[in-house]
Amino acid sequence: MSPSSKLMVGNWKMNGSLAANASLVAQLLEGIGAVSCRSALCVPAPYLAQMQHLLTDSSVDLGAQDVSAHASGAYTGEASADMLRDFSVRYVIVGHSERRQYHAESDATVAAKTQRALAVGITPIVCVGESLAEREAGQTEAVVKRQLAAVIQTNGHCISEIVVAYEPVWAIGTGLTATPEQAQQVHAVLRSQLQAASAQATRISILYGGSMNAANAADLLAQPDVDGGLIGGASLKAADFLSMLKVASR
């Protein structure tokens, strides 16, 4: 069983400018009246103040792209969960494959970041996913279950408060996309793992992230265990993102 309404989250990655952000949000808010799904934008940290202002009184929640595993201290360049909360951040992405790959984030680090976010009432969007080599070796299920297990082990008592995003690494920014059947297969595995960990698992949204766009969103979102999307490049185009939000609202 999935949550009743879909959740669509835009991940701007390292893109944006003050002017471009204002224009994009204006276009989104102008067209969002017909949308009933939940939505959020995860933006680069320098733009949190601007976005807090632009999204005030809108139906679009604000999200951050990362959070420190530490509460405070001598960690130059890091942003703590309390700092994010000061900007009315509702969601934060943790364990994105780009963080795991380029910044050597371990499963334990991702679990600790999840814990920090939950401690201040921010919903972590926990990313899991396999590389092409791991998929070809038949290790997809083992990899995603290991990644999620670390988060469950550290946060088991409140695991129902997280969001999970399945993002096959081979389908991020490549134009490749898991077929709806491939996505559903992995989402079902994750759903089963969450249900084994919590009686409240039906509250947990499991998003698909991996080159979801306006053309393929409907087929992916039609799968029984796909509760929404973590959208990269397409979320930087107002028309495309709105199109996907409307699909998710059906």
Question: What positions carry a catalytic annotation?
Answer: 96, 167
Distances (CA, A) of 3 to 71, 81, 83, 157, 182: 31, 26, 29, 20, 21
What gap in Å lies between CA 205 and CA 8, rounded to an integer?
Answer: 10
Place of tokens 């939940």: 38
Beta carbons of 166 and 183 less than 8 angstroms apart: yes
What gap in Å lies between CA 180 and CA 109, rounded to an integer?
Answer: 30
What gap in Å lies between CA 128 and CA 147, rounded to an integer?
Answer: 6
- H helix runs in the chain, sequence order: 18-31, 48-55, 81-86, 97-102, 107-119, 132-136, 140-155, 180-197, 217-221, 238-248
177 token code pair:
């996309």
